[in-house]
Amino acid sequence: MAHKGSHAGYLNCPMCDAEVPISGDEKVGDDVYCPFCSIPLKLKKKKNDELFLEENF
């Protein structure tokens, strides 16, 4: 589930669908890692300002 506005909360991993905690200190373009499958992810924002995670291979 992506959160609009605030960066704090959880986003879903696109590989394993686990919830990835987002502290709120991250900026769009930052790298984060899924705590379940350890895949590298990049924080991105859709045109409607909705945040999401994308694989960063």
CA distances from 31 to 27, 52 (A): 9, 12
At 3-53, the pLDDT tens digits run 444 568 999 999 999 999 999 899 999 999 999 999 999 999 999 999 999
Q: CATH second-level architecture of 9-55?
A: Single Sheet (2.20)
Domain boundaries, the chain: 9-55
Write the CB contacts of 8 (distance below 8 Å, at least 6 apart in sequence): 22, 23, 24
pTM for this structure? Answer: 0.81
- Tokens 């300002």 label which residue? 49
